[in-house]
Amino acid sequence: MSSNGGVLMLNNELQRRGKHGVVRWVDRMDGPHHSPSWTSRVYIEEVEYAIGYGPTKQAARDHAAALALAAL
């Protein structure tokens, strides 16, 4: 998935369903700054839908967004 692809697709789907402003992200970086590992949790209407992982914050968010889309 391209950069921002998962996040964009999730936002578009939620808009299509009439849900605006219901997404919240919690991001955490682990490891050294030169080689971080990111974890992103996506909450929809304050319910945790997915946890994503990646080498960048955006990659972790895209991963979580793709998982959340599959769970909707």
What CATH number did the domain enclosing 51 receive? Answer: 3.30.160.20
The confidence score (pLDDT) of residue 4 equals 72
Instruction: Report the domain count for the chain.
Output: 1
Give the structural domain span for 24.
5-71
Q: How far apart are CA 68 and CA 51, in angstroms?
A: 8
The confidence score (pLDDT) of residue 54 equals 97
Residue 25, Cβ density class (10 Å: 0-12 exposed, 13-18 middle, ≥19 buried): middle
Print pLDDT tens along the chain (72 aa).
456 789 999 999 999 999 988 999 999 999 999 999 999 999 999 999 999 999 999 999 999 999 999 999
